[in-house]
Chain A
Amino acid sequence: MALEKIEYDASHCQRCSTCKWSHLWEIKSHRFARNCPSLVYGKFDAYAAQGKNDITTGLLKGELTWEENKDILLEVIYRCPVCAACDISCKRVMDLDIIGVLDALREEACERGYGPLPAHKEFIQSIMNYDNVWKQPRTRRANWARKMGIKDLSKAGARADVLYYVGCTYAYKPGMDTVPQNTAAILKEAGVDFGILGAKEVCCGGIADNIGDKKSFEKIAEKNLKMFEEIGVKTIVTNCPGCFMTFSEKYAKMQKIDTTALPYKVKHTTQFLEELIQDNKIKFKKPVNMHITWHDPCHLGRRGEPYKHWEGKRVKFGLTEPPREMNRGVNGVYEAPRNILKAIPGIKLVEMERIKDYAWCCGSGGGAKSAYPDFALATAKERIEEAEATGAGTIITACPWCEANLTDGIDASGSKMKVGDILDLVRQAME
């Protein structure tokens, strides 16, 4: 069972509570000092990584049973966006795979037939039926690209240097189609040879892995990997941090290889555009006079690191044999979006208190928004308040899930802030 794999990590939690706070050096105020949305909302320690470690240990020791405690266990496990803020804080002081514990709890819930939650099952069913999470017909997937003259790489014989993978949410969510449209326009103007998968694009499946449904995830991943192989994809560029992390980290993990051993390279659009700016292929002609703050999506930032595969065991003193390089949030994509924003004339960027590796999550990831909308909203409202404290008028981000949830947070809190995508700013400055 899944929990057995992380028994050491859960049971060696020392209960120091470092996982409950933002990076201790970086705390800048009493107000914005905490890092765990699940704990802030749930208040009791069970909702923090420390508590989840205790609960895991309790389950393994038979002090708690799934059968008797199913409902509360599912709430503790799933009312969490798996943002990994806890994992990064903990790894500053210990060498425990905390995100591994959170993942294993979900996996075991599914193995036992208790998970995923009904809201998650809808997502999975939708992917199985329609290849997307939004129950939309496949034929509408590339509607955003109509009349743009973009190569469809799923057509026989079509080839391009870059596969621009759009993702379900940008493809279907009303009002978000400007992001892929702007991305495609920017790539064209920069002279990039790219194409899309059109109506044949299939959900990356990241959500299935996030909620612990490994079987469904593997099915979806295999479908995508087969398609990538058929087309001979060398570079994938995507706007969605969830897809980015899935192609880069999750597909590597599933195949038990390093990210660098994948047959393709994955780049988030911000990384790709940063290179194009450096190579002078993108030029900004128009100032964008905006006072903004940047929200780091978790899947791009601390969860956006390349994966290093490890198979082995804990040996004496908890050392690993062979030595394990864990993801610790050091090499996430933090600077690329900032460098782009700095390069756009007229932009005034002010940072929030919790940024980069210790950014506060928007609250939407890991299936949390679909299963626990009130939790996701409360978490977004906290971010809005933090953003407002900077004096900026707009939160810029590069994730459709963050954008949607932060927008809901603004609506619910009556804030005057706006939310936007970085690609829209890039496009404005180029026109």
Chain B
Amino acid sequence: MAFTDFSYSALQDIVGDENITNDPVLCQAYSRVQWLPHGVMQRERCGLNMRPACVVMPGSTEEVQSIVKVANRYKFPFIPRGSGFTFHAFPTQGGTVILDPKRMNRIIELNEKDMYAVIEPYVAFAQIFAEAQRYGLYVPTPLAGSQVSCLANFAWHGAYGNSWITGIGAQNLLGFELVLPDGEVVRSGSMACPDAGNFWNDGPGPDLRGFLRGGMFGHAGGMGIVTKISCKLWQFAGPEVFPTEGNANMKFSSSLGDLWRWYMIKFPFKYPEEEEQELKKSAELFYEMGKAEIGEVATHLAQQFLLTYSSVTKQDLHDNMNNNVFPQSYCVVALAGKTSLEQLEYEEKVLKAIVKKVGGVFVEEDEPAYKVWIKRAANEWIRFGNAQRLARPSDNFSIGSSNVDSIDKIVYEILASNKVEKDALEEGIGKDFVQPLSIHGGWISPQEYGYWCLHTTDVFPEQDPEQCNQAIEIIGRVGKSQFQRKSAAEAIHMLGPAYDMFGPMLGDVHLYVKALKREFDPNNISNPGFATTPDVLSDEEYRKLMGGGGH
């Protein structure tokens, strides 16, 4: 059954008139997301089916449960929202109901002693950061920006600017409350035991974090709606209030005080010709830092990230690109004296010794790259996010990522991905994208002291279907090559068939996920369906690549 007037009245009874709408004008504001070629193509294909039939704002877990039960009764699909930055949070079929979480926006508890916060879905990262900062604590910020929902991101198992120390979302998730696709509530970890505190997510019983599909698998079929999480807070060596200078887009934060220091490190190789050596040296640096267990942030940024993240305007970005302000890639490191200044100084000595050992050079304060990155953008990295700027080169970008267990493998991945992109370019695919930004891997994020590593590769097309299709093709080719190399990759941006493709490499996880989905959501109404299936990577083609696997 589709979404009908009966369904609407039933939802209206739950949340009240003022918290629900099916007005086309109000629903239009939930109908398009354009930063990614997939979003553009999804809109091209789904058209007005991307406009929800209704937007509903529950105010409590009980209201969420009731909504889900009504959805099962009338069998209409529903999609919960955080801020709605990802295209997975948008309908792909008519008659879908969006749950807008704005009424569930409380920080229920902030426990400075046990270092966690219990929050509802609409709490943004920036809000928790600000509250935690008063107690000398902070929360990791995804590059997506601190305006997004912390809960939606943790449910997506996100990655952060300081994942070097914090790891991914799952590691920061200390408990959750989830309304299952049939309306039943499940709580995890110590959240399941009344008055036990909200600091521990393991047991009793099995680890339930896998239930949270979030954005990554949301469109391969969700598993209900998270109504509360407990998120881990980390010690912050910066001040209680974020220091800034200037106004608006010329507002900078050049210093976080005595206990926080940024460094930019380069290796004396010719870029891009000797990119391989540069990447290998960077990997060595991270391994050594990991062994020494130093650092708060450790990451490797190619030109495209440096240019986009530090830009104050689009023109400024293109000028910096044309003036070659970042002539190469750099490693960016932050050290934090969490216990004392002595700790910071000790770590600095160790870092200097490591950099010397691996043949690196600290970028000097008077170099343009230092001035632009450290003075303008570095502190944004941990509090603002700033990847909202990633679309700045062309107002659209495409992202592919790989996610593996070692930094060495990531270096190999980047080089291979760059080659795929260069080959495509030689065929003329992507020739109209912003060059040279569209060739070199953007972000290498070694996580948890280098125990594993994430890398993204981006291209910058304009927002027209022709260029978007080319971007999807390039990212698709990169994904395909990852598969051929038997490398792990995230299925984030190649949803649907890609999930089946990567499943066998991950112990047939896709089969378990699908079985669980069928069991828990027999009506297939919780984030059902797939997003765009890229033309260039048909279901058939993926299966062929899989050697017949999948499904």
Contact = CB atoms under 8 A, between A and B. Distances in A.
Contacts of A106: none
A64 B28 contact: yes
A247 B241 CA distance: 38
Contacts of B84: 15, 17, 45
Contacts of B24: 64, 68-69
Interface string B44-83: 0000100100010100000000000000000000000001
A64 B25 contact: yes
B149 to A, nearest CB: 9
Interface string A31-66: 001000000000111101011101101100001100
Interface string B440-477: 00000000000000000000101100000000000000
Given A16-B145, A28-B241, A58-B31, A94 B248 contact: no
A94 to B, nearest CB: 7
Contacts of B551: none
A17 B85 contact: yes
Interface stretch (A6-14, A155-163, A183-191): A6-14
B104 to A, nearest CB: 12
A329 interface: yes
A330 interface: yes
A24 B385 CA distance: 9
Contacts of B314: 94-95, 317-319
A44 B100 contact: yes
B462 A25 contact: no
A45 B100 contact: yes
A227 interface: no
Contact of A318 (B28, B83, B379, B462): B462
Contacts of A33: 124, 126-127, 130
A424 to B, nearest CB: 27
A406 B130 CA distance: 27
A93 B388 contact: yes
A186 B364 CA distance: 52
Interface in B295-331: 313-315, 318
A63 to B, nearest CB: 6
B249 interface: yes
Question: Which of B145, B147, B315 has its CB near the most chain A CB atoms (within 10 A)?
Answer: B147
B131 A29 contact: yes
B248 A44 contact: no
Contacts of A330: 246-250
Interface residues of B, number: 71
B131 A30 contact: yes
B213 interface: no
A295 interface: no
A95 B392 contact: yes
A17 to B, nearest CB: 4
Contact of B462 (A76, A317, A328, A356): A317
Interface in B407-425: none
B244 to A, nearest CB: 5
Contact of A46 (B28, B128, B147): B28
B249 A72 contact: no
A102 to B, nearest CB: 14
Interface stretch (B32-40, B169-177, B216-224, B487-495): B32-40
Interface residues of A, number: 60
A72 B455 CA distance: 45
A93 B392 contact: yes
A69 B29 CA distance: 14
Interface in A65-107: 68-69, 72-73, 76, 88, 91-95
A316 B28 CA distance: 28
A63 B130 contact: no
Given A76-B25, A318-B314, A357 B147 contact: no
A21 B29 contact: no
B50 to A, nearest CB: 10
Question: Which of A54, A69, A328 has its CB near the most chain B CB atoms (within 10 A)?
Answer: A54
B268 to A, nearest CB: 32
B313 A95 contact: yes
Contacts, number: 196
B93 interface: no
Contacts of A120: none
Contacts of A21: 124, 126, 147
A18 B146 CA distance: 9
B100 A30 contact: no
B83 A17 contact: yes
A323 interface: yes
B383 A12 contact: no
B395 A44 contact: no
B29 A91 contact: no
A30 B127 contact: yes
A13 B39 CA distance: 12
B32 A57 contact: yes
B100 A18 contact: no
Contacts of B478: none
B85 A46 contact: no
Nearest to A26: B244
A335 B249 CA distance: 17
Q: Which 8 pairs across A and B sit closest by C-beta, in order of nearness?
A: A51-B29, A14-B35, A93-B388, A329-B248, A45-B29, A46-B29, A95-B314, A16-B388
Given A14-B33, A320-B315, A334-B247, 5 more contacts: A16-B85, A43-B18, A52-B29, A92-B249, A94-B388
21 contacts: A14-B35, A15-B33, A15-B84, A17-B85, A21-B147, A25-B242, A25-B379, A29-B131, A44-B29, A45-B29, A63-B51, A68-B24, A76-B25, A92-B249, A94-B314, A317-B394, A318-B395, A319-B315, A326-B313, A330-B250, A334-B247
Interface of B: 18-19, 21, 23-26, 28-35, 48, 51, 55, 57, 83-85, 100, 102-103, 107, 123-124, 126-131, 144-148, 241-242, 244, 246-251, 253, 313-315, 318, 379-380, 383-386, 388-389, 391-396, 434, 460, 462-463
